[in-house]
Structure 1
Amino acid sequence: MTSRLAAVTYDALDPERLTAFWDALVPSAEHQVALRFVAGTPPAPGTRTLHLHLTSESAEHQRATVDQALALGGSHLDVGQRPDEGHVVLADPEGNAFCVIEPGNSYLAGTGFLGEVACDGSRAVGVFWSEALGWPLVWDEDGETAVQSPHGGTKVAWGGGPETAKLGRNPQRFTIGADEAEVERLLGLGATRLSEHELADPDGNEVELVPPS
């Protein structure tokens, strides 16, 4: 058995508002990673460890996605991007970053609208999740990794680079469906147990456990 990626879960001050924002902007689709929002405390600076990449079919589609996000309560976000970069960096109503990628991006071709969950993390954690989910590594270069379901859909990627000290509990985390036998397998792959309902991956990121389905 392998784990099932049930959702990427976000702590939120107003879960209903964020759910409405993301449901309107990114309707559910087959093989697309689900997004889940639960009540939580405001994230400490530096604890957001992932952001999303939305794809575009054309320049008009990209502009329409940006306009819709702003109309729903999103905002532009300055992360030091250059004026000549084709993607647009935005934030949802609670400051969670996401990028609307320009059309013609070959790396995200065929992934669907929610093209990528881009995470901070080591190569080791990318390999761990490949084995945990049974998703092949579709990128593995210079310490950067990405996995994708054999059926296609959203990629999940880790940017590699130098590791930094964990600053606190992550307000964004993976929620997986796994029974106790699967939990034991994950522990053998390098996870650690934090509680009955939570593990940590090899980089120390919290992983929420729910019953398999």
Structure 2
Amino acid sequence: MALRPVQVNIKALDDSAVGGFWAEALGWGVSSEGPGVTNVEPGGGFVWPDPSAVCIDVVAVPEPKTATKNRVHVDLATTSAAHQTELIARLQAIGATSAHVGQGSDVPWTVLADPEGNEFCVLEPREIYRDTGPIARVVVDCVDPRAMVRFWGEATDWTVHEVTDDRAVLRSAKGVGPYLEFFRTPGGKTVPDRVHIDLLPYPGDDQEAEVARLRALGATDLDLGQGDVPWRCLSDPEGHEFCVLGRS
């Protein structure tokens, strides 16, 4: 039994506009499973779910983002200094804005925000991210990376690549797609997550059994007023929300 990280879920006032931004940013396509939901995923014959990409799922909500920095965000990969410069300019042209999250003025990456203020980074070229696709990594701010990688390493079938007091790294066991990285960040969670990770059981695995397994690992059931839906809302040991979807 194991679960797969399959998408990053972003709440938005306007799911179509935010989804359209991310589709242009990543060079992906958009689809919709109904009003208020915009899916962003690769084209070219991509069939979800596939570990080569963690997709973007934008869901409409009535509340705007607060000024508090999201504790989950994505970082975009680049292949050269020229590519980084070009990508930043292109993103700003389609609605991205500069964001300041305490990064200082001398870091080699650039922090931006999407049209509703969700922060993300455009990384300088790094060899480790050359084969990830446009999303280099999904980053989670946390108090204890070692504790987080113990939970998420058991919760998912992804492989642990690095563990230190300040950073823990996982990636699909197939060696494709983005990394999932936990960074030690001062202060704990103070507002509900605007961005979270969705997990999917494998065919033949039981959603309720997976949820029970996650509870045993330290997850907590979460009531967000979601009502009778086919996914289950939980939070990890540090309170980050995530969902276990129904089987594909």
TM value normalised by structure 1: 0.90
Cα drift, residue 147 of structure 1: 0.8
Cα drift, residue 68 of structure 1: 1.3
Cα drift, residue 72 of structure 1: 0.8
Q: Superposition pairs for residues 14-33 of structure 1, below 5 Å? A: 14-26=14-26, 27=28, 28-29=41-42, 31-33=52-54
Cα drift, residue 112 of structure 1: 2.3
Q: Superposition pairs for residues 53-202 of structure 1, below 5 Å? A: 53-103=75-125, 105-121=126-142, 122-123=144-145, 124-151=147-174, 152-164=176-188, 166-178=189-201, 179-195=207-223, 197-202=232-237
Instruction: Flag the 1:154–1:170 CA change in 2: closer, same or farther, 3 A.
Output: same
Residue 80 (structure 2) pairs with residue 52 (structure 1): no
SS in 2 for 1:211: coil
Instruction: Flag the 1:169–1:16 CA change in 2: closer, same or farther, 3 A.
Output: same
Identity %: 33
SS in 1 for 2:184: coil
Question: Could you tell me whether the CA contact under 8 Å between 1:4 and 1:212 is conserved in 2?
Answer: no
User: Separation in 2 of the partners of 1:43 and 1:14?
Assistant: 12
Residue 50 (structure 2) pairs with residue 35 (structure 1): no
Instruction: Flag the 1:74–1:161 CA change in 2: closer, same or farther, 3 A.
Output: closer
Structure 1: 4+ residue segments shifted above 6 A: none
Structure 1 unmatched ranges of 5 or more: none
- Give 2:127's aligned amino acid: S
Cα drift, residue 114 of structure 1: 0.5
Give CA deviations for 1:185-205 in whole Å, capped at 9, x if unaligned.
Answer: 111111112247211111111
- Give 2:182's aligned amino acid: W
Cα drift, residue 143 of structure 1: 3.9
SS in 2 for 1:180: helix
Higher relative contact order (CA 8 A, sep 6+): 1
SS in 2 for 1:120: strand
Instruction: Flag the 1:155–1:212 CA change in 2: closer, same or farther, 3 A.
Output: same
Instruction: Flag the 1:34–1:189 CA change in 2: closer, same or farther, 3 A.
Output: same
Cα drift, residue 106 of structure 1: 3.4
Aligned pair count? 211
Question: Could you tell me whether the CA contact under 8 Å between 2:4 and 2:157 is conserved in 1?
Answer: no
The equivalent of 2:32 in structure 1 is none
TM value normalised by structure 2: 0.78
Structure 2 unmatched ranges of 5 or more: 29-40, 43-49, 202-206
Instruction: Flag the 1:199–1:47 CA change in 2: closer, same or farther, 3 A.
Output: farther
Question: Could you tell me whether the CA contact under 8 Å between 2:109 and 2:123 is conserved in 1?
Answer: yes
Deviates more, 1:39-48 or 1:7-16: 39-48
Give CA deviations for 1:59-115 in whole Å, capped at 9, x if unaligned.
Answer: 121112111111111111223334332211111101111111112x23434322200
